[in-house]
Each structure stands twice: as structure tokens, then as C-alpha cells.
Structure 1
Amino acid sequence: MEELAEEAGITVRTLRFYRERKLIPPPRREGRIAWYDDTHLARLRTIAALLDRGHTLSGIAELAEAFDHGRDVAELLGLGAPTEEVPVRLSPEDLADHFGGQATPENLTAALDLGYLGTDGGEIVHISRRLLEVSSALVREGIPLSAVLETGKRVRDHADALAELFTELVLTHASEEDLPRLRPLARSVVEAELSLALDRKLRGQP
């Protein structure tokens, strides 16, 4: 504990306080010896950075609990599952840079539940660079992150239905082996139909 506190630039008393508040995970124990590693040091440096940005210890504790109980990235993506999306590794400071004061425990818990965020060891992973960039762009335009996440949940339901339609089409007229090859065609149809639907909405058409 003394070595970890010295490396993190804090006092042992502060480190004990963080442990009591469950801001850091418990150490690995061998008999009476408690072993800390780079994961604990990274968490302490993250706490220091978030405190510098104005976050409270209560808020940081809620964030830590949300991430510690979040799904890992393998569960989100599926082991070996094909994907065109590129996951992004983030620190809590990176999330604050993307979403400012809206990177609250409530919003981040909602993102974890939705499957936008996962964990990989001690790191946070966003499931899709494109979704991360779009979400942060909408927030910069003044749309609350909570509303973006709620809409994302509704879009997910529609996207699942569209994927089911395309899969049924291919399996009826081709084979399961054709799905990866024909996948870009499905995406093009959805993008074109969404573009046309937006045009109709902008013209006031039903």
C-alpha cells in the first residue's frame, strides 16, 4: 500500500479512504500480503484527473461501480463475430472530453445497459467509433446525452427488425454463407431508405 500511494502521489491515508469508498478494487492477497498492480495505479490516476475536472468523489464512486459491473467487450461484440464497426478504447477523461458534464453516472450506466460501452480489463471500450463520433456531435449541437441514448435504444429496436428482414430474405432465396457477402447491400438499402424518409419529413410529407 505504501508503494502504491507513493507511485500515485497520494498519502496512505488517502489510499485507505479510497479503498473504504470502493473507488479502487481490492488487492490480490497472498496470506497477509496485499498485492496492487498497474490497474490500481491507473484507477488512482483517473480519480486524480476527474477530481481536477470538478467531479465529486461520490460521482466518481458511482462511475467506478458502473464500470466495474459493466459487460466486457467480448460479450458486447460476440467472440469471433464479424463486424464492420471499430471499437474505441477510452479513459474516463476521454469520455469527459467527448461529453463534458453530461458524462454522468446515470448516462454512463445507460450507455453500459444499451451496449455502447464495455470494459476490457481496466479499460473502457466504446463498441463503435462511428456511434461515439455521432453521439458526441449531437451533444455538441445541444441535444442532451440522455435523449441521444434513449433514441439510440429505439433505433436499436428498429435496426434489429431490419436485420431480421434481411436475414430472412437471404435465407429464403440464398444461404447463410451468403450473408457476409451480401451484408453491404443491406446497409445500402437502409441508408438510401433513411435518406428518402428524411427528405419526406423535411418536405412535410407523411
Structure 2
Amino acid sequence: MADYRINDLAQVSGVSVRDIRVYQDRGLLPPPTIKGRTGWYHDEHLLRLNLVSRMLERGYTFATISELLNAAHHGMTVEHVLRGSTRRGRFQSFRRAATITIAELRKSLGASDRTIALTEKIGLLVKDGAGFAVKNPELLEGAEVLVKGGVDVDVLLDRWVRVQSDLEDVAHSFVSIITERFVNESLLGMDDSQVDKISELIRQVRPLAHEIVDSTFAQALDREISNALGEVIKILETDTPDGAGPNGPEQD
């Protein structure tokens, strides 16, 4: 992955430093990674710049581009953007009720017995009498949006299980930084203060690992979203006249 200072990014992208700052201020470009006093940009920033430039050339406004990028980042559809609805999601009430029935699962997600078993395995739902306790309403609502868009819920949950397994390996790799260094037979000769120090080091792994995983995944996700949206724009460019948006030239 290439690293760029803002002047380097401007040179390789063909976008001026001023415009890069404008895109960043408007939320169209993720902020750089700050190391010392220098902001470093990466390949996902270059991809996003190219995408934004192409969308601007097609007549999209800053506001429209921002809405589409935010929608893609949060798994929303164009319908959600156009509707602009602020109504509460159908699962938001479960913050209070905290339960959902099997019938509701089958209706909203097309859930099979295997689907329900997977949701229990990953901890999204927990058996509660005749129904299930909803551990994360937002995730359940997001899954429903994808299912309505044509995504197979079992495929989605299988990916979730795979990511869960991968992240367990990641968690082990971070904690083992400490355990492999300190947790061995030498512990037998340590006093309580030394053991407490090692325990504190293990606890400190959590925020560090979380930040590394979160920032790395965010960069990777931005890169993949930009690539996917870029493919959509490429298809649109071959199907519509030059300079026209999907519904013709945009009016002032």
C-alpha cells in the first residue's frame, strides 16, 4: 500500500491540494493518518479521489456524492437516500421490547431453521421463551435491508461466522504478544507487583488492538466501496451520453 503526503497525492491524482482539502472538509474524502506532524494518505484515498472526480464530471453535486458515499458505507440503498425518511427502523422498538418471534424472523429475513441456528451461534439472537432476545437491533435491521435487496441471509451469516473466526485468530495474535513474552515458567519467581504489571500490559492490548483493527478495516472498506462504486460509474459511463447524469444533465 502506497503512502502519500498531500502534495504527492495531488500529483498522482491530478486533483489540486486545495480541492483535496475541500473534499475532505465536505466529508467526501477520509482524513489522513497522522504520524508525528504529517498527514499520510493511502491508496484508498487515491481511489476515492478518482471516484469523486468522475462523479463530479458526470454532474453530481457535492451533496449527492456525499449521500451516495455515506449510503454505500452504511449498506443503504438508493431508495433510502431518495426517500430521506427519518422514521424509526422497524427493529428500533426492540431496544425496549428486546424480543422477536420466529414468525417475525421468517417474515423479515426469510429465516430457515439453519438461519436461526446461525444467528444464535454468532450471538445476534438469544433464545428467550418462545421467542428470541435481540442483542443488536441495528444489525438485525441492516440484515433485513440486505435481504430485501436480494442478498441470501445464509450467505451473509456464513460470512459473519467466518469473520468471527478470523477475528478470534487476530485477538489471539495480539494477546500472545504479551503471553509469549511473559507468561511462562518465570512467573513462578515473580512477586505480586510483577504479576500485576503483566496483567496490566495484557489489558492495554485491548485498546491498541481495537484501534489497529478498526482503522485498518475502515481503510480496506473504503477501498472496496470506492472500487465497487467505481465499477457502477464505469457501467453508467458506457450507457449514457457524455456529460449526462443518470437522468440527464443536472440543473442548477
TM-score (norm 1): 0.44
TM-score (norm 2): 0.37
Highest CA radius of gyration, 1 or 2?
Answer: 2
